[in-house]
Amino acid sequence: MRSGKRASQAPDYETKFIIGKLVISWKAPACFLNFESNFMQATRILPDLQTSLICEEVRQEMNGNFILVGVIGVIRVPQVPVTAFKLCVFNRWTAGVGAFTESVRLVAPDQSKVLRQSQVKFGLNDANQNATNVTVFGQIEFTTGGVYYVEVLVDEVMKLRYPVPLVVVPPPAQAAQPPTETQ
């Protein structure tokens, strides 16, 4: 007494995805579905960049909290070339799982020359954790005014690129000395 199906053959299950007006549908045999676990266990999820700030210095308190000193929106200088003693890039990653490599680049206004680049490895064991990385660039020479860029990548995937304008503001002219009266 044989039936048309083998005893070990399970029924097919239909899967549908609807994206706007596009409907994608296919049938998969039950052998590709895992009924033994109630949820999927992710082994690797690319993290989200929660924040990235450029500043003059980053300090850490005894309780683990960070203090950012001199958060920079624009760099104002009296002349170029000028050398910055130190610039810090504060990055916080979250909602990821796995081991990753963060790359931070400082790009010149011509958008092709990389002035500084740094890489650091970090890991997240759970999507509810976060990782904070601080990159310190020392002795950066700015040769021209214009818009510089900070680029933040994780595993060669660009997560953020933001401008850091360097503006040359000449010092104000010395006020003319009032004439002295001679007698």
- Per residue in 66-89, pLDDT (tens digit) is 999 999 999 999 999 999 999 999
Query: Which ranges constitute the DSSP H helices of the chain?
Result: none
pTM over 0.85: no
48-168: CATH number: 2.60.40.1930
CA angle 56, 58, 63 (to 5 degrees): 160
- Beta strand 146-154 with 157-168: parallel, antiparallel or unpaired? antiparallel
- Per residue in 99-146, pLDDT (tens digit) is 999 999 999 999 999 999 999 999 999 999 999 999 999 999 999 999
Which residues have a Cβ under 8 Å from the Cβ of 166 and sit 6 or more positions away? Answer: 74, 75, 77, 80, 142, 144, 145, 146, 147, 148
Alpha-carbon gap, residue 120 to 69, rounded angstroms? 22
Per-domain residue ranges for the chain?
Answer: 48-168
